Amino acid sequence: MGAQIVPSTGRGAYCFRIHDQIYRRTSYLHPAEAEARATPIEKTPKRKRGITGDTASRREAIRKRERRVVETEEERSRRLSTMAQRGQDRRAEETEEQRNSRLSDMSQRGQERRAEETEEQRNSRLSDMAQRSQQRRAEETEEQRKENTFWGERNVYVSDNICKKNKSEAGI
């Protein structure tokens, strides 16, 4: 192989060279296995200095919240529009399997949230839904109203037929 590795007497990672390529040792290497386990330094992540992990992400989250407090309506609108566009792009590229997994996760979270809610929270949620529905109906045009009525009646018709079919197959 043409490489010689001398184990470090100190602690931690150290660097060595094989065929003019610099490698970093992260675990015990046997000279015969050096190329199989060593990673070129250019491909290894740099170690963070100072604040790491949770503290850094917590500080970043605080900075984001502070920025949002002082942002204008236009900036907020632009930020939300960008987020929505990214979400649409991500969903456009996802496979059927990824889509099903995402929808399943969303459904599971919704079920868990509803299972944990109190009676008061449930009533509030249902009241909000009813209010939004009333607003939508108040804002819809006559053409939209006809279309919604058509599809609503069609769904009832299809549902009734499915129920009748299931009953006849069950012998009820």
Contacts of 123 (CB under 8 A, 6+ apart): none
What is the arithmetic mean of pLDDT over 127-142? 90
Q: Read off the pLDDT of residues 42-95 as tens digits, 9 standing for 90 and up.
A: 554 555 555 566 788 888 888 888 888 888 889 889 989 999 999 999 999 999
Q: Read off the pLDDT of residues 101-131 as tens digits, 9 standing for 90 and up.
A: 999 999 999 999 999 999 999 999 999 999 9
Contacts of 40 (CB under 8 A, 6+ apart): 21, 22, 23
Domain parsing of the chain, residue ranges = 71-138
pTM: 0.35
Residue 1: pLDDT above 50? no
